[in-house]
Structure 1
Amino acid sequence: MTKQWKLKEIVLMSVLGVVFGVIYLLFFLVGEGLRNILVPFGLAPLGYEVIYGVWFIVSIMAAYILRKPGAAFTAEFIAGVVEVLLGTAAGPGLLLSAAIQGAGAELVFAITKWKDYRLRILILAGVSTAIISFAWHLYFAGMIALAPWLLASALSVRIISAALISGVFGKWLSDQLAKTGVLRGYALGKELQRKQKHDTA
């Protein structure tokens, strides 16, 4: 697998970043709704945590589909830029959050030298992003002021959300796209073709 980027790979990564940037922004409304539901129970901070894995998914999908150094980081950062341009309430500071989240996922793929894209690695990338982003949000989002038990709960929920949504669901969604044939010219699509040929051999 060559590490040199092709134009079509850059285009796909950019498209993924833009699409998920819009999705990320829409999910702020979902998170706010969940937060309001949990207010009476004293669990408002967990509203966003339940779906936090959504905000990591493009980094996992881009890396899994393209299998190139920098795919996870760049796709996540592009999504962050789109959110800011569309007017996210988080403001320009969200760009730093996006960079940190992208780096959290990229770190795991870098450890494997961008050669291992099994489900457990995708889940680990999601978990890594959850932990690193949580450490950042302790101060950036003022979460450090929360009660210890609520902090622990928030971290646990974010990790689970990241593992299931960005890791498991991100892989499933990418695989479904590959089965349609639209990813035929990309690393994931080529892997699927090899498996199909092997199964029919």
Structure 2
Amino acid sequence: MNNWRFKEIVVMSALSVVFAVVYLAFVPVGKILVGFFGPIGYDLIFGIWFIVSILAAYIIRKPGAAFISETIAAMVEVLLGNAAGPMLILSGIVQGLGAEAAFAATRWKNYSTWVLLFAGVGSAVFSFVYGYFISGYAALSTPYVIGMFVTRMISGALIAGLLGKTLGDALAQTGVLSSFALGKEYRKKNAA
């Protein structure tokens, strides 16, 4: 983080805190969906828990933004009282690594819609593999587990990737990101 500006760290941290609250608010929603649909209910909305990694990386565009923001959000969510406790921090690390891997694949140079969608899928894949081993998915039927996996990837792409891009673009339009990479790109695109 040697080449990070102070304002980038502040914005990333603020986004992480905001989304920790959002993440915690969606836990009961996930439980309701599980009540209706079984374990796959969480996968329908799992992408919500990846958004900050996509949004922070999209705005700041520096190595580590996805990983660090997701990790901070998980730590804050635990401090706010998520019943999962410290294991949730490990989940945040895994999810952040999944998104970061997508940006690393482009050497942190491409933040197109496709890369943002891929980052959401990356978080989904990493989190699912981790969850498979700690959540007992092996006890479920193979077709059901495959359905959970596909559903989580779609959720990661659409909720985290697409919604993260939409939120970033909306913030850029307001001008509050004018000194960030996304804000500069937005100004350049609209000046042409």
The normalised TM-score by structure 2 is 0.97
Q: CA deviation at 1:168?
A: 1.1
* Residues 146-170 of structure 1: CA deviation (Å, up to 9, x unaligned): 1111101100100000110111111
Residue equivalent to 1:159: 153
Q: Which ranges of 4 or more aligned residues in structure 1 deviate by more than 3 Å? A: none
The unaligned stretches of length 5 or more in structure 2 are: none
How far, CA to CA, are the matches of 2:129 and 2:173 in structure 1? Answer: 37
**Comparing 5-14 with 163-172, which one deviates more in the overlay?**
163-172
Aligned residue type for 1:67: R
Larger radius of gyration: 1
Matched, 1:9 2:3: no
Q: CA deviation at 1:65?
A: 0.5
Aligned residue type for 1:37: F
How far, CA to CA, are the matches of 1:155 and 1:9 in structure 2? Answer: 34
How far, CA to CA, are the matches of 1:96 and 1:103 in structure 2? Answer: 11
* Residues 69-126 of structure 1: CA deviation (Å, up to 9, x unaligned): 1000000001000111011111111111100100011011111110000000011111
Q: CA deviation at 1:37?
A: 2.0
Q: Secondary structure at the match of 2:74?
A: helix
* Residues 140-191 of structure 1: CA deviation (Å, up to 9, x unaligned): 1222221111101100100000110111111011101110111111110011
Q: Secondary structure at the match of 2:187?
A: helix
Question: Which residue of 64, 67, 71 corresponds with 2:65?
Answer: 71
How far, CA to CA, are the matches of 1:69 and 1:132 in structure 2? Answer: 18
Q: Secondary structure at the match of 2:26?
A: helix
Residue equivalent to 1:186: 180
Question: Which residue of 72, 78, 82 corresponds with 1:88?
Answer: 82
Question: Which residue of 100, 111, 114 corresponds with 2:105?
Answer: 111
Q: CA deviation at 1:130?
A: 0.6
Q: Secondary structure at the match of 1:68?
A: coil
Residue equivalent to 1:46: 40
Q: Secondary structure at the match of 1:50?
A: helix
The normalised TM-score by structure 1 is 0.93
Q: Secondary structure at the match of 2:177?
A: coil
Q: How many residues align?
A: 191
How far, CA to CA, are the matches of 2:58 and 2:138 in structure 1? Answer: 33
How far, CA to CA, are the matches of 1:182 and 1:50 in structure 2? Answer: 32
Q: CA deviation at 1:47?
A: 1.0
Identity %: 52
Residue equivalent to 2:130: 136
